[in-house]
A and B are shown apart, each in its own frame.
Chain A
Amino acid sequence: MSEEPKATSSTSTSASTPLFVVAASPHVRSQATVNRIMWLVVIALLPALGGSVYFFGLKSLLLVLLCVVSSVLFDALAQKALGRKITPLDGSAVITGMLLAYNLPPGVPLWLPVVGAAFATIVVKQFFGGLGHNFMNPALAARAFLMVSWPTQMTSLWLKPNGGPLSGLDAVTGATPLSLVRRASEVAPAGVDPAELIRQANSLPLLKKLFLGNVGGCLGETSALLLLIGALFLIAIRVVDWRVPAAYLGTVVVLALVLPNSHLTPWFHIFSGGIILGAFFMATDYVTVPVTAKGRIIFGIGCGVITMLIRLYGGYPEGCSYSILLMNVATPLIDRLTKPRLFGALPRAKATS
């Protein structure tokens, strides 16, 4: 925002009378700027950061700082190398760093986020043209890259949340809540009926834990409450379009109710894993999601369907980030199929009715 009032030298060339600036209308603009939007998203992500420090200790703060600093640094270096304008303060690399950190298990070694940040900013973002041109969410693409490259580190280094077991259930100590979705019999300790675990997973005490966040999981995804505080703020100031999360969560609820493989309540599905973080902060990333209202609803539904199919039938316990990445790829197609309706569009017969 600070660089806006830049004087153009061509405006005061005439010797006698100074000439005024001539440019096409409109001559007033809204307060919204790219930088302002990005920093508002950063602010909205802060409550969840507080939560992760509380649940997983100061190491999570270190991981977030590491991700943010390396994202900003790599982003700027790539911009310099590619001869672009260097914009370390536009906030977008900060968001990428925060989201990447939020998608990491809190126990990862410190080199992992640095590699992820380099991949997110250099390969996914700047190689495709920089902010506004990347077709995939950089943080999520980096997460997928880390998942396939270092699967052990990415899927086992969970930390016990402050004052509770990893799964949220006392009986299960070695897995996150999502393992209850399809692997209840595997994670059930000897002598515990898996059906009993499912019953407990659907019970109010666990739901409360999932909502507040004192369960195991990725660094920034566990507390639905703290994420929602930021998300509702963004929706209230109209930075985030409510349609995407509404369609996403709505689809998850419906599928949790109707799919035969689903033994857990819709609320368990919504508040476990990364859906809240994904639906409100990553499936709403302007650059990689459709631009029309209709397109955004389709995008949200698609995310919900893919997430649930992966969770209930796929090889991974969580499908949120892959669902968003797959829908990112579908975005150009969705955009093409959901053009806004032209005012006064033919057929003529209707226009005169």
Chain B
Amino acid sequence: MGSRYNSRRPMLTFRGGVHPHESKEGTEHKPVEVLPLPARVFIPLSQHTGAPSKAVVQKGSEVKTGTLIGEPAGRISAATHASVSGTVAEITDLPHPLTGRRGPTVVIDSDGTDTPDDAIKERDYSGFANEQIVETLRLSGVVGLGGAAFPTYFKLTPPKEKPIDTLLINGCECEPFLTADHRLMLEHPAEIVEGVAIMSRVLGVKNVLIVIEDNKPDAVKVMADAASSSGFKVKKLKTKYPQGAEKQLIKAVIRREVPSGGLPMDVGCVVQNVGTALAVHDALRYNRPLYERVTTVTGPAISEPKNLRVRVGTPVKNLIDFCGGYSAEVGKLVMGGPMMGIAVSTDEVPVLKGTSGVLVLDRPATVFAEHDCIRCGRCIEACPMGLAPLRLNNLIRRGKLEQAKAEHVKDCIECGCCAFACPAKIRLVHQFKYAKSELAAMERKQ
């Protein structure tokens, strides 16, 4: 073992968490395959945290692959691009795959040629000023690809009063089943390191750590080799869910605690996902906007699990068909991983920028009978945020939302550890999501 990435300190980790079955063996050794071009894509203008982008094309517009179709509208927003070349069939309100709320969606019929936009070409960006890099990322629609889809340019421009000294590159991929980040690290280590270099330059940060869970020793090795001349450190973390959650990651690696209600920048830290680093590289080196991503199609009810490179807006059904279809009666179709992913009712929904996986669960694994709480305390032991989920659940069920707020329900990161551990199978996360949205609505009213 090289000493470059083998820390002599005890294994880095955090308090709480759970150990779900990793279930990564189905795809972790499968190289990324390219999904054939879809005939039609559905691209929601809201795929990121923040304001939706504003359409700059109309029905009938000719677009090429990578052509801007939605410009960022607001302080926190991200651009949206065509993911195939062809004609805009319509711009229509469709239910959002994750929220279910209707929102504008650009529907593009592919012409089958996949002609790239003229602006996309390799270039030397070494002379770019930091502002130019940030603007490029903003217009390239790069968002965090770990799942939350927070606009990357915004995270790279913290206010002056929040000095940043550490950049963490998240290669944990702690969600069970998912292997997209793992494959990216194995297949594109040099590009990822280059993307990291761009971000560290913009942030002016010397202390850069690429952190990977120890269930991916091959990725640790490959990334350490790729980063050897860069000065970036590669750190191995204990495999435990949710190791990849920002706050837990920061705590484990640099022993700082993001204050309650705060952000990583409050403790001088920025966290970016490895896939995001790759997207940053593509945006700068090739001026290629974010219109495709790698996602893992997996789960007990899919015939042939695969890691796929897919265009944003591709219907999930295309991915399922390419993976041999369903192998059992489908219980749940989940966008993302099993712990935090969102279950959707149909496979007609499109892949989004933040879709890290498509998980197909069979029926027996889907529905759990709820029992009364027996106060075993497993949820408290599992909660990485130091909450008392059983107590919050009681308060919320009795309608005491203000009291739940006083007991920090808003600090819940919805990681799912409590509900995973609960022997009574109580839908704890469901309750907390409900309470948080109710509280947010109450605050908006005031």
- Set of chain A residues within 8 Å of B380, measured between Cβ atoms: 291-292, 340
- Decide yes or no whether B420 CB sits under 8 A from chain A: yes
- Set of chain B residues within 8 Å of A292, measured between Cβ atoms: 377, 380, 388
Interface 1/0 per residue, A12-37 and B, CB below 8 Å: 00000111111111111110111011
Is A340's CB under 8 angstroms from B342's CB?
no
Is A131's CB under 8 angstroms from B388's CB?
no
From A4, A132, A286, A352, give the contact of B368 (CB < 8 A).
A4
Residue of A nearest to B241 (CB): A26
Is B372's CB under 8 angstroms from A33's CB?
no
Is B345's CB under 8 angstroms from A343's CB?
no
Complex: A11 Cα to B7 Cα, angstroms: 50
- Set of chain B residues within 8 Å of A296, measured between Cβ atoms: 377
Complex: A23 Cα to B262 Cα, angstroms: 29
From B366, B376, B423, give the contact of A27 (CB < 8 A).
B366
Is B247's CB under 8 angstroms from A344's CB?
yes
Is A25's CB under 8 angstroms from B378's CB?
no
Q: Place the interface of chain B in its size category.
A: 35 or more
Interchain nearest-CB distance for A64 vs B (Å): 23
User: Given A343-B247, A344-B257, is A20 in contact with B376 using a C-beta cutoff of 8 Å?
Assistant: no
Complex: A344 Cα to B346 Cα, angstroms: 39
Is B384's CB under 8 angstroms from A343's CB?
yes
- Decide yes or no whether B267 CB sits under 8 A from chain A: yes
Most buried by A among B371, B390, B408: B371
User: Given A30-B421, A132-B375, A352-B266, is A340 in contact with B367 using a C-beta cutoff of 8 Å?
Assistant: no
Residue of A nearest to B381 (CB): A293
Residue of B nearest to A12 (CB): B329
The secondary-structure label for the interface of chain B is loop
- Set of chain B residues within 8 Å of A237, measured between Cβ atoms: none
Of the listed stretches B124-132, B277-285, B357-365, chain A binds B357-365
Is A345's CB under 8 angstroms from B378's CB?
no
Is B260's CB under 8 angstroms from A346's CB?
yes
- Set of chain A residues within 8 Å of B345, measured between Cβ atoms: 19-20, 22
Is B257's CB under 8 angstroms from A343's CB?
yes
Complex: A177 Cα to B183 Cα, angstroms: 67
Is A34's CB under 8 angstroms from B332's CB?
no
Is B378's CB under 8 angstroms from A26's CB?
no
Is A4's CB under 8 angstroms from B416's CB?
no
Count of CB-CB pairs between chains A and B under 8 Å:
196
- Set of chain B residues within 8 Å of A344, measured between Cβ atoms: 247, 257-262, 385, 411
Is B343's CB under 8 angstroms from A34's CB?
no
Of the listed stretches B44-52, B210-218, B224-232, B424-432, chain A binds B424-432
Q: Place the interface of chain A in its size category.
A: 35 or more
- Set of chain A residues within 8 Å of B388, measured between Cβ atoms: 291-292, 339-340
- Set of chain B residues within 8 Å of A61, measured between Cβ atoms: none
Is B373's CB under 8 angstroms from A132's CB?
yes
- Set of chain A residues within 8 Å of B186, measured between Cβ atoms: none
- Decide yes or no whether B386 CB sits under 8 A from chain A: yes
Complex: A341 Cα to B15 Cα, angstroms: 11
Complex: A48 Cα to B196 Cα, angstroms: 62
Is B259's CB under 8 angstroms from A351's CB?
yes
- Decide yes or no whether B387 CB sits under 8 A from chain A: yes
- Decide yes or no whether B396 CB sits under 8 A from chain A: no
User: Given A26-B416, A28-B338, is A343 in contact with B385 using a C-beta cutoff of 8 Å?
Assistant: yes
Residue of B nearest to A292 (CB): B380
- Set of chain A residues within 8 Å of B386, measured between Cβ atoms: 340-343, 345
- Decide yes or no whether B20 CB sits under 8 A from chain A: yes
- Set of chain B residues within 8 Å of A342, measured between Cβ atoms: 260, 385-387, 408, 411
User: Given A291-B390, A292-B377, A343-B257, is A5 in contact with B333 using a C-beta cutoff of 8 Å?
Assistant: no
User: Given A20-B345, A22-B344, A32-B423, is A351 in contact with B257 using a C-beta cutoff of 8 Å?
Assistant: yes
- Set of chain A residues within 8 Å of B390, measured between Cβ atoms: 291
From A22, A26, A340, give the contact of B429 (CB < 8 A).
A26
- Decide yes or no whether B176 CB sits under 8 A from chain A: yes
Most buried by B among A18, A32, A37, A290: A32
Interchain nearest-CB distance for B80 vs A (Å): 26
List residues 222-262 of chain B with CB under 8 A from any CB of chain A. Answer: 247, 251, 256-262
Residue of B nearest to A290 (CB): B377
Interface 1/0 per residue, B325-347 and A, CB below 8 Å: 00000111110001111111111
User: Given A291-B377, A291-B388, A340-B387, is A37 in contact with B408 using a C-beta cutoff of 8 Å?
Assistant: no
Is A27's CB under 8 angstroms from B359's CB?
yes
User: Given A19-B345, A25-B339, A342-B408, is A351 in contact with B258 using a C-beta cutoff of 8 Å?
Assistant: yes
Interchain nearest-CB distance for A254 vs B (Å): 26
Residue of A nearest to B430 (CB): A24
Is A29's CB under 8 angstroms from B420's CB?
yes
Interchain nearest-CB distance for B182 vs A (Å): 19
Complex: A32 Cα to B374 Cα, angstroms: 12
Is A286's CB under 8 angstroms from B372's CB?
no
Is A28's CB under 8 angstroms from B20's CB?
yes
From A8, A30, A131, give the contact of B367 (CB < 8 A).
A8
- Decide yes or no whether B433 CB sits under 8 A from chain A: yes
Interchain nearest-CB distance for A69 vs B (Å): 23
Is B420's CB under 8 angstroms from A351's CB?
no
From A3, A20, A133, give the contact of B346 (CB < 8 A).
A20
Residue of A nearest to B19 (CB): A30
- Set of chain B residues within 8 Å of A26, measured between Cβ atoms: 338-340, 416, 419-420, 429
Is B260's CB under 8 angstroms from A32's CB?
no
- Decide yes or no whether A130 CB sits under 8 A from chain B: yes
User: Given A26-B340, A344-B411, is A131 in contact with B372 using a C-beta cutoff of 8 Å?
Assistant: yes
Is B375's CB under 8 angstroms from A287's CB?
yes
List residues 305-344 of chain A with CB under 8 A from any CB of chain B. Answer: 335, 339-344
Interchain nearest-CB distance for A348 vs B (Å): 6
Complex: A340 Cα to B418 Cα, angstroms: 14
- Set of chain A residues within 8 Å of B347, measured between Cβ atoms: 20
- Set of chain B residues within 8 Å of A7, measured between Cβ atoms: 363, 367
- Set of chain B residues within 8 Å of A30, measured between Cβ atoms: 18, 20, 420-423
Interchain nearest-CB distance for A288 vs B (Å): 8
- Decide yes or no whether B168 CB sits under 8 A from chain A: no
10 CB < 8 A contacts A-B: A4-B369, A5-B364, A25-B340, A26-B416, A28-B338, A287-B374, A291-B376, A293-B377, A340-B380, A351-B258
Across chains A and B, which 9 residue pairs bring their CB atoms closest together, nearest first?
A: A26-B416, A24-B430, A32-B423, A132-B372, A291-B377, A351-B259, A19-B345, A28-B338, A344-B260
Q: Contacts A3-B369, A129-B372 given; 10 further ones with Cβ under 8 A?
A: A28-B20, A33-B371, A289-B375, A290-B377, A291-B375, A343-B385, A344-B257, A344-B411, A348-B259, A351-B257
B residues neighboring A (CB under 8 Å): 15, 18, 20-21, 176, 247, 251, 256-262, 266-268, 330-334, 338-348, 359, 361, 363-369, 371-378, 380-381, 383-388, 390-391, 407-408, 411, 414, 416, 419-425, 427, 429-430, 433
